[in-house]
Amino acid sequence: MNLKDPEIRDALAAEFVLGTLHGPARRHFERLLRDDPSLQQAVSAWEGRLGRLDEGLQPVEPPAPVWRAVKGRIRERRGHAPSLWESLVLWRSLTAAALAVSVSLAGILVHQMVRSPAFVPEYVAVVSDEKGQTIWSVSADLDRGELAINPVSTPPLEEGKAFELWLLPARDRPPRSMGLLPTQRRARLTLPSDITLPTAKGIAVSLEPAGGSPTGLPTGPVLYQAALLRSG
Amino acid sequence: MDAPFARTRQLVHYSCYQPGQAAIVLDDQELMALLAATAQGQEEAFARLYRHSAPNLFAVLVRILKRKDWAEEALQETFVRIWNHAQDYRPHRGRPMTWMRSIARYRALDMLRRLPLELLQEDLSGHTDAAAADSRADPIQHMDDELLRRCLEELQEQARTCIIMAYYEGYTHEQLSARLSAPLGTVKSWIRRGLGRLRECLET
């Protein structure tokens, strides 16, 4: 995606708003959008233009249970405001192996929360190598619909290859791709909205061609697996 | 910077009046105030925001997702997101209702793209909600927005159809190509050119 050309930027913003930009391209665009104010501006302008299509829409009264569910969820979240204490409790509740690195990880987690206080790590997973060295920490905020990935100490990666993150759903359903894992910098991945983390078996990392698995299922070796733990 | 703020001073009617039903209409400034209070965690403001905007957002969701149960789930997600992201709303970037409707639309599109194919096919074969079906009946004819209607009418017919089907019902390039029996590349260029013309027309 060449995002230097202003015409291409505007065309992509338009198709993002229209909805025809989809799949990996949409997720890539969403990541770029996070830190690019001029792209955000272009998207807002298109939301304004195409939003005019909605102006005459006949409202439809939603059933009352929807509001009750919303209220329940925001209250539940308030009870789970992130704090240093909670994050320490969280790390203590991890397995013995993970406990060994809890000090450095708690530091990382706190750092993450300071940078973006709105992210609430409701689920966490620690991907580590056979020696117990943490490679990535992964946390999920279901309401934001995001995974925060923190590369701690990633192994070398051959050119033309990528690490892909998979969610292992309940029962024997096939793994779902969550996107490519960063090796240098922290990144956010968009969590599919139909995913139910509470029942997931865990996560896995596979080695794939650059750009990710061409089939939608792991094609290379599965290098690591980790459990997904509810925080707090 | 003056223009966007000037626009927000006008009283804008969001809820459509239905005969015999008293609609309570909030203008942009009231909605902005409610969003600002929501950002500070004031539940009462958020409840008021919900009461006034949920029917509109729900209509958008029903139109895209076709099924009320899916639309209800998406509406719930949308408002949890609005609660969590109210502090990200920037008045100079757009009107509050546009911002909220965009959150709803993106949520719906996300859901639509991830639904198992069988479910979607089952849905397309008849399980279409009446509210969604309404939107198919010539949407342009009933448009109050004169400029928008004129600009849409000036587009090439296929471009207009593609843009409207994509916006209102979440059609992808591939689905449009199948539905209109046109090559994928052609559909993409109809849309790309159509959006460019639409922008030009709306801004002159």
For position B53, which CATH number holds? Answer: 1.10.1740.10
Residue B185, chain A, CB below 8 Å: the answer is: no
Q: Which amino acid is at B32?
A: M
B44 and B118 belong to one structural domain: yes
Residue B131 counted as domain residue: no
Q: Do B60 and A57 touch (CB under 8 A)?
A: yes
The beta strands (E) that lie in chain A are given as: 123-128, 134-141, 146-151, 161-168, 176-180, 187-190, 202-209, 222-226, 229-230
pTM, 2 dp? 0.60
3-state secondary structure of A229: strand
A31 vs A150, A187, A188, A212, B103, CA distance in Å?
15, 8, 7, 16, 16
Name the residue of chain A whose CA is nearest to B110's CA.
Answer: A193
Q: B93 and B157 share a domain?
A: no
pLDDT for the residue numbered A53: 93
pLDDT at A84 (0 to 100): 39
Task: Determine whether the interchain pair A17/B102 forms a contact, defined as Cβ–Cβ distance below 8 Å.
Answer: yes
Residue window 101-130, chain B: list those with CB within 8 Å of chain A: 101-102, 105, 107, 109-111, 113-115
Q: pLDDT tens per residue, chain A (232 residues)?
A: 567 888 999 999 999 999 999 888 999 999 999 889 899 999 999 999 999 999 888 899 999 999 999 999 888 766 544 433 334 344 444 444 444 444 444 444 444 444 444 677 778 888 888 887 888 988 888 777 888 888 888 888 888 888 999 988 877 778 888 888 988 888 888 887 777 777 778 889 999 888 888 888 888 888 888 888 877 5
Say whether both B143 and B119 belong to one domain: no
Is the confidence at residue B98, as pLDDT, over 70? yes
The DSSP secondary structure of A140-168, one letter per residue, reads: EETTTTEEEEEESSPPP--TTEEEEEEEE
Place of tokens 């279409």: B128
Q: Are residues B26 and B113 in the same domain?
A: yes
What type of residue sits at position A198? P
Tokens of B22: 């008293």
Q: Is the pLDDT of residue B80 over 90?
A: yes
Domain span at residue B34?
A: 1-123
Query: Of B123, B156, B179, which residue is a domain's last?
Result: B123
Query: What's the pLDDT score for residue B138?
Result: 65
Residues B89 and B164 in one domain: no
If you search the block for the tokens 């209070």, which residue do you land on? Answer: B37
Q: Are residues B115 and B154 in the same domain?
A: no
User: Within this chain, do residues B34 and B64 fall inside the same structural domain, yes or no?
Assistant: yes
Q: Are residues B91 and B153 in the same domain?
A: no
Distances (CA, A) of B47 to A80, A111, A186: 21, 33, 35
Residues in B closer than 8 angstroms to A81, CB to CB, are none
Residue among A10, A193, A194, A195 with most chain B CBs within 10 A, to mutate: A193
Examine the domain organization and report whether B109 and B157 are in the same domain: no
The number of distinct structural domains making up chain B is 2
- Put simply, the answer to whether B139 touches A15 (Cβ < 8 Å) is no
Number of helices (H) and strands (E) in chain B: give both, helices first.
11, 0
B80 and B15 together in one domain: yes
What would the pLDDT profile of B3-16 be if each residue is shown by its tens digit?
A: 333 223 233 333 33
Q: Please report, for chain A, the start and end positions of each structural domain, with discontinuous segments joined by +.
A: 6-54, 81-230
Section B5-33 average pLDDT: 49
* Mean pLDDT of the region B145-172: 93
On whether residue B129 sits in a domain, the answer given is no
Closest chain B C-alpha to A69 CA, distance in angstroms: 7
